[in-house]
Structure 1
C-alpha cells in the first residue's frame, strides 16, 4: 500500500510543493524585509510575487500535477487565467522598477510623463489578457482586436483636433522645454509659467493668468528666458546730458547698479557709452521675475545719485534742494550739534552741501573709512551690522543724527546706514570737519561718545543674537 503511494505520480509533486513552497515563501520574506529596510523599489514586485504569484502557482501545480486534473477542467482554467494575469502584473511592475525607479535627473526616463507609462501599461495588459484567453480558453481574439482597431481609427478621426492638443501637451511634458516657474515669451504672451497640463499652459503675466494651448506652443517658437541657468541680464538704457563726462557717468552707473539686492552674488553689472549722451547698463539679476523690480529700483536710485553728482539724467539736472535758502535753513538746524559759531556757519555755507537719498540706498557702508560726515536734515535711516549671514539692527539715524563719525578718527565705519524713507543730509567734508573740531573741541568729544554708543549697541545686539563681537568693537 505504502509502496503504491510512493510510486504514484502525484506523490512527488505533493512532497515538492509541501517542502518547496514554504522555503520559497521564507526566502522571499527575508529578501523583501531586507529591501524594505534599504528603501529599495524592488521590494514591491517581490512582495507581490510572495503574496500572490507563488501561492496561485502552487495551487495550479497542485491541481494540474498533484491531483492530475484535466487541463480543460474549468477550475484549472480559472486558476491558470488568474495566474497568467498575476504574472502580467508582476512583469509590468518589474519593468517599472528596472526602468524608472532609479532614473537619473534630466534623463528621458525621468522626463517621460506618467500618462505615457499608464497608456503603455494598459496596452500591454490588454494584449497580454488577449493572448492569455487564447492560450487558456482557446478564444478567438483576432476579430475583437480588429474591431477595436477600426473603432479606434473612427474615434481618432472624429476627435483629431481635441486629441491633437492632448498629444501636443504630452509631447511638451515629455520634452520639458520649460518648467513651472520659468519665464516664457510665447504667442504674444510674456510671464511666468504657473501650471502645465495636458491641454494648456497657464502663464502669469502680472495682470492675470493667460491660458496658452499646448498645440500653439508645440507648433510655434517661443523663448524660455529662464534658461540656460545662471544670471539673467536685464538691459537698461539711460540718457544724460552730453556735457556729463562719459567715464564718470559709467562709473556712477556701475556703482549704483552694484548696490542692487537683486544681483546674482559674485556677478558685476556693466555699463557702456553709446554716444550722444546715451548709456546701456546690464544688470545680472537672479531671474527674469526680478527684472522689473531691479530696473525700477536702479532707475530710482540713479535719479538721486545723479543729482548728488550734479549730472543731468534725461538732460535735467534741477534739484529742489538746490533752491535758495534751503542750505541756510539746514545749516541753522545742524549748527547747534556742531557747536558752530558764526565763523563755523560761514565755513559750512562755503563747503557743506545738501544731498538726497532714495529708499534702500546705503548712505555709509561698513568697513569703509568715510571722507565725509553727513548730518540728517530730514528722513530716516536704519543702522545695521553684519553678523555672519544675518543683519543686526543697531539703531536708527533721524533728524540731527550724524552718519560716518569715524571719519574723524580715520577708522572704517563699523556699521552700514540704509535709508528707510527719503532722506536729506548735510554733507560736511573731512577737512571742514577738522577745522570745526579745532575751533570747538567739544565736537570731537561728542562724536567719540557717539562712536562708543554705536559699538556698545553692536555688542548688545550680538549678545542677544547669540553671536560673538564683531571686529572693530571694543570690549
Structure 2
C-alpha cells in the first residue's frame, strides 16, 4: 500500500472531525462511524507492516520511523476511547450513563492499560520496571489523595446500590435537594433556595439518606405544633382534621392524619402529616397547611405556643372582634369600628354538606367563617368542579352585599361549620356613618378583581371608558346603600 502514513493520519483526522463536531448528531450512528474508521485504520496499519504490537519499521529513516511510532500509539489510544464509548453506549444502563462514574473509572483504567501497552509494544520500554516503579508511586499518591480515593470508592458503592439517582429529591442527613449530577467525587444537589450543594460521596455513603422520590408521586410533609396543655386533645385533633380537610393541595390517599406526638413541661406537641404528588408543591402545601392549622385552632379558642416557652398571661378578647380582625376586608378598620361592627354580627350554625349559597343569587349578607370548612364549586357543562375551600377568617358574599353583584358559584359545608353574618341593613347603617370605609372596601375589591371573576359574575362593561373599576364599584356601593356624601374622588381618613 502506497503512502500508509498519509492514509493513516487522514483517517485519524477524519475521526477527530467526527468527534469534535459531533456529526452526525445521533450518538449511536456516530459511534459506528468511528468504529468503521478505527477498523479502516487497523487495516491500513497491519497491511503496510505498521503492527501496533511491534516497533515501527524504517529505523534507517528516523522521520518515517517516528511518524510510524506516533500513528501506532494513536491506534492504542483511539482503541481505548472507542472501547469505553462502546461500553458506555451499548452496555451500561441509562441511569449509570447519567451518573458518569462507571464510564469515567472504566475509561481511566482502559486508558492506563493502553498507555502501558503502547510503551511496551511500540516504544519497547521495560514495562516490568515501569510497573514496579508506578506501583511504588501509586502507593505514595494513594496516601496523598486518600480522601479523594475514599470519595471514588464511596461513589462506586452509591452507584451500585442506587439509593438515589439523577432527578430524585433526597435528604442527606439534614440537607435536602434534587440530585442534578453524580460523578466520581461528589453528588450535586439543587436546594430549594436555588443553590447547588456539593456533598462528597464519602459523606453521602455514611449519612442517613431519605429519598423523597420513592415511591413516585407520593411525598410526605409534617408540621409539629405546640399547644397549651389545658386544651382538650379531642378538640385540638378535630381542629387539625378540619385544617387537613380544608387544604386542597394535599392528597386524599394516602390519607392525611394528625396525632399527639409528645408532652413537654409547658405544652403538648401535635404532629400533622400530609402528602403531595409533586415535590414542587411541598413548600406551598406546608405554608398553606400551617395557616389553616392556625386559623382552625384559633376558631376553637386554642392558642399555639412557641417551643418551650411558658404560657403567656391570658387576656380576654371578644370572639367576634377577633374574627373581624382576621378578615382582610376589614383590615383598615380601627379598633372602635371593629367593636361597633362586631355587635351587628349574627351567629349561624350549619351541618355537614349543607348548601349555604346557590349559583346566580345575590347574597343579602356577608358571611364570615368562624369554624369549619366550606367548598366553593362552579357548575360547568361537564358537571360541578371545586375551585376553592374556605376556612376560618375568610369571607364570601362581599361583592353582592356591597355592589349587588350575583355569585355564579355554590357554597356548601364540608364539615359542621359556624358562620357570622352581616346583613345589608346593618352594613348600610355602618357605611352611612363611615363612608370612607366603603371607599376602602371598594378599593380592596378592585384590587382583587381576579378573585371577583372567579367567585362572582364578571364586572359589566357598561361603565364609561374613562371610568376605572374602582370608580364604578364606588358608584354601585353608593347607589346600593343610598349613601349621601359625594362618592367620587379619593378620601383620606384622619
Shorter-chain TM-score bucket reads 0.5 to 0.7
Deviations 1:396-434 (A, max 9, x none): xx99971577xx999751799xxxxxxxx98328xx889
Distance 1:293 1:252 in 2: 18
- Are 1:129 and 2:121 counterparts? no
- Are 1:145 and 2:131 counterparts? yes
How far 1:284 sits from its partner (Å)? 0.8
How far 1:232 sits from its partner (Å)? 2.3
Deviations 1:250-295 (A, max 9, x none): 6413223x23x4x36x656522455999754311145678766644
The within-5 A match list for 1:59-458 is: 61=47, 73-74=60-61, 77-101=65-89, 106-113=94-101, 115-133=104-122, 138-156=124-142, 158-159=143-144, 161-168=146-153, 170-171=155-156, 174-175=159-160, 177-178=163-164, 179=166, 182-186=169-173, 189-192=174-177, 213-218=200-205, 220-228=206-214, 229-238=216-225, 239=227, 241-242=231-232, 248-249=238-239, 251-256=241-246, 258-259=247-248, 261=249, 263=250, 267=253, 269-272=255-258, 274=260, 280-285=271-276, 294-308=285-299, 310-313=300-303, 320-322=317-319, 351-352=346-347, 373-374=365-366, 402=398, 413=409, 427-428=420-421, 454-457=456-459
Distance 2:127 2:318 in 1: 92
Aligned residue-pair number? 359
Q: CA distance change for structure 1 residues 245 and 414 in 2, over 3 Å: closer, same or farther?
A: closer
Unaligned runs of 5+ in 2: 51-55, 306-310, 325-335, 350-355, 370-375, 388-393, 413-417, 428-448, 463-494
1:127 match: secondary structure: helix
How far 1:210 sits from its partner (Å)? 8.2
**Largest Rg, 1 or 2:** 1
Q: CA distance change for structure 1 residues 299 and 42 in 2, over 3 Å: closer, same or farther?
A: closer
How far 1:126 sits from its partner (Å)? 1.1
TM-score by length of 2: 0.51
Relative to its length, the structure with more helix (as a share) is 1
Deviations 1:179-220 (A, max 9, x none): 57744242xx444378877656677698x99876543433x2
Query: Are the counterparts in 2 of residues 103 and 110 from structure 1 also a CA contact under 8 Å?
Result: no
